[in-house]
Amino acid sequence: MKRIGLSLLLILLSITTFGQFDTYFTYKTLRLDYTHAGNAKNESYYLDELIAEPYWGGSKTNLIDKFKYGKYYFEVYDKDSGALIYSRGYSSLFAEWQTTLEAQKVSKSFEETIIFPMPLNPVTVKMYSRNWKGKLVKQVEYTVDPKDYFIQRGLKKEYPIYQALVQGDPSEKVDIVILPDGYTKDEMDLFIADCDKFAKVLFDYYPYSEYKDRFNISGVLAPSEESGADIPKDSIWRNTILGSSFYTFDSERYCMTTENKSVRNLAANVAYDQIYILVNTKKYGGGAILNYYNISVNSNEKAGKIFIHELGHGFAGLADEYYDNSTSYNNFYNLDVEPWEPNITTLVNFDTKWKHLIADSIPIPTPDSAIYNSCLGVFEGGGYSAKGIYRPKKDCLMHTFKGDTFCDACAEAIIKMINFYSK
């Protein structure tokens, strides 16, 4: 009798939540493009344009972000009732740039985007930025009327779609769209093969291997004029559709693009939750930022592990667990604040992290001793800092590529995100 009652309750909750989506939204996307400008100490937001895109790939039930990961956060309120109807956390390239030495000397601007289901009625969009103390502070507020005739409608340009893995309704799956950069028209067959290759790679790794039925993977067949990517230090400049470049922030392996609008225009050809850019080069590199985009190379000998590592950032909000001097960041984390990423801690509020996964016999912090090599613990060094930041295990795919597994803390974070997007 109790089981029947619980099942009925779950059904009623599901109906209510789906009904909530239909009350406020249509099955399309409203894209808000803006410019994020500033320097190490200041930031400003400038609205660029609103675009109504033809597909919505997100959940119809999990409309409110329960994680609040990311440097930034936005909320969408129904204007008439004042009800919170959608929210998401995210980060951006601008946020990373603010921690570089360059940002202490000059100001720059970056293209950014937030997306949410196309509302039926006017909404208020509130955008927040996380300050040095970890608090989300409101920066701007916009009123958006979906009937505004200045909202652009449809695709900037339509491209053919390759469906590498289709297993169901996008609202009930994690939808990954793979975008090509540096593949010419004659190399589209290579891109299709790469879509298949990396779709297979994804499910070679736990926990993705246990949740293959929760994913859809598509590729947008959009050719570039030239092959490869920019390598500024070698005076190599390629005419590619997304403008990927090594030496981002003067870090050779950091391959990113600042052409956010081009990225979003391509991605809009399908329903998506995550954007993954494949760069047609053998050079080692990649990068990813939470709910911004993921990017990596297609044919380096470590391309598979790079792909998996970067998706950990962009999809699950995982932090880098290494702590060498290979990045251009300065004071990336405040050691007096618990970082939002689920796989690192300053021990300020460790109860919110992976403490529940650690055996009672493991000391916290955990000594750097061989007897703890295979244990989940709290090991000092992570988040680009050798001191004051701790990671869950001696090694993990978010630390080095010596092994082939995620630690239990990272795996748990990935599973939670899969469930959030696919239920």
Q: DSSP for 380-394, please give it.
A: EEETTEEEEEEESSS
Task: Count how many residues are written for the chain.
Answer: 423
- With beta carbons less than 8 A apart as the criterion, state whether 201 and 215 touch: no
CA–CA distance, 367 with 372 (Å, rounded to integer)? 8
Q: Where in the chain is the domain with CATH 3.40.390.10?
A: 161-316
Architecture of the domain whose range is 161-316: 3-Layer(aba) Sandwich (3.40)
CA–CA distance, 2 with 5 (Å, rounded to integer)? 5
Per-residue pLDDT in tens (0 to 9) along the chain, 423 residues: 444 444 454 444 444 455 799 999 999 999 999 999 999 999 999 999 999 999 999 999 999 999 999 999 999 999 999 999 999 999 999 999 999 999 999 999 999 999 999 999 999 999 999 999 999 999 999 999 999 999 999 999 999 999 999 999 999 999 999 999 999 999 999 999 999 999 999 999 999 999 999 999 999 999 999 999 999 999 999 999 999 999 999 999 999 999 999 999 999 999 999 999 999 999 999 999 999 999 999 999 999 999 999 999 999 999 999 998 778 788 899 999 999 999 999 999 999 999 999 999 999 999 999 999 999 999 999 999 999 999 999 999 999 999 999 999 999 999 999 999 998
Q: Torsions phi, psi of 105, nearest 5?
A: -115, -30
CATH of the domain spanning 13-153, picked from 2.60.40.3250, 3.30.70.1710, 1.25.40.80, 3.40.50.1240: 2.60.40.3250
- With beta carbons less than 8 A apart as the criterion, state whether 250 and 327 touch: no
Q: What is the pTM (predicted TM-score) of this model?
A: 0.95
Q: Where in the chain is the domain with CATH 2.60.40.3250?
A: 13-153
Pairing status of strand 84-90 against strand 72-78: antiparallel
